[in-house]
Structures are given as C-alpha cells and as structure tokens.
Amino acid sequence: MEIALIKEIKKEYLEATKCYENEIENYSSDVLPNSFINLAFIYWCFAFEFSIPEDIPEDYSVIGGNRYQKILELGLSYYPNNTELHFWKKYFQHIIYGEEFSEKDCKLLIEKYGDSIVPYFFLYLFDKNKYEKQRNELIIDAKELPTAKNLYIKSLIE
C-alpha cells in the first residue's frame, strides 16, 4: 500500500496531502487516478470543512480551496476517460455552487465514461431500492479502505 494512502487511512491528512502531492508532482504511469481523486477529495474537505478533523490549520482551508479543482483537472489530463474523476468534478460543483447535477446527468456520465461504483452513492440518494446493491458494496469498500472519500460516502448512505 502506498505511503499517501496509509497516511490518509490513519487520518494523518496533512501528511497524506504532502505524499499525494509528491507522487503527482513526480508523475509516472504508476500514479493511478485514485491518487488524484483522494488528494482532490481531501483538499475539498479542507476547503469546505467536510468530515475532516478540526485540528487542520486554517491556511489549509485556503490551500484546499485553491487546489482541489486543479488536482481534478490534472488527473483528467492524464486520465480523460476516468468516470470517477468526471463524477467528482460535477459533484463538487453541485454541492458547493448548486450547479445542476441530476440523476439523469449522473447516469449519462456513467454511460459515457464507463462504470464505476462511486457515482452510485449519488444515484442511491434518488432511488434507495434500485441502488441498494451498489450502496452495500460502497459500505463494504468504506470499511475495508477508510479513506476520507469513502468515509464521506458512507456517512451519506448508511
């Protein structure tokens, strides 16, 4: 397991961001989309104070606000067909700025870029019966790999 991910799971978020930044700065084909996603998610949480411990220095809120979108864009430049990167880009804009992002929009995103389990937490909020199987999978994922992103998802669907 990579160092950044271990730090994140231990909720050492400041150290995790440094490790993810270093990994991304020294990009190679070994850097997976999840590194961009996890870092962007932590920064988004810093910026808007979602599910992150209160002991994060205030300046990280500004850093997070300045970086989360840039990290997603950088991830998309390397992985333009990654469903989850596209999903978080739309979802963050929807949650923070109220941009339209409907159930139909989410389904179209999955159709266009391929299947990913993550957007199903959003779809579950529209139809709990239809997406119960995916919801259960997401909860298992969160228990097995408690990243900031997975803990956030779990908090919305449990």
Q: Residue 107 has what pLDDT?
A: 97
Distance CA 101, CA 1 (A): 34
116, two tokens = 């990913």
Predicted TM-score (pTM) above 0.95: no
Q: Residue 56 has what pLDDT?
A: 80
Q: Residue 29 has what pLDDT?
A: 77
Q: Which residues contact 80 (CB under 8 A, 6 or more apart)?
A: none
Q: Residue 136 has what pLDDT?
A: 97
Q: Residue 54 has what pLDDT?
A: 64
Domains in the chain, please, with CATH? 3-157 (1.25.40)
Buried residues in 54-85 as b, exposed as e (16+ CB within 10 A): eebeeebbebbeebbbebbebbbebbeebbbb
The stretches in the chain having pLDDT less than 70 are 1, 50-54
| pLDDT tens-place string over residues 71-112 | 999 999 999 999 999 999 999 999 999 999 999 999 999 999
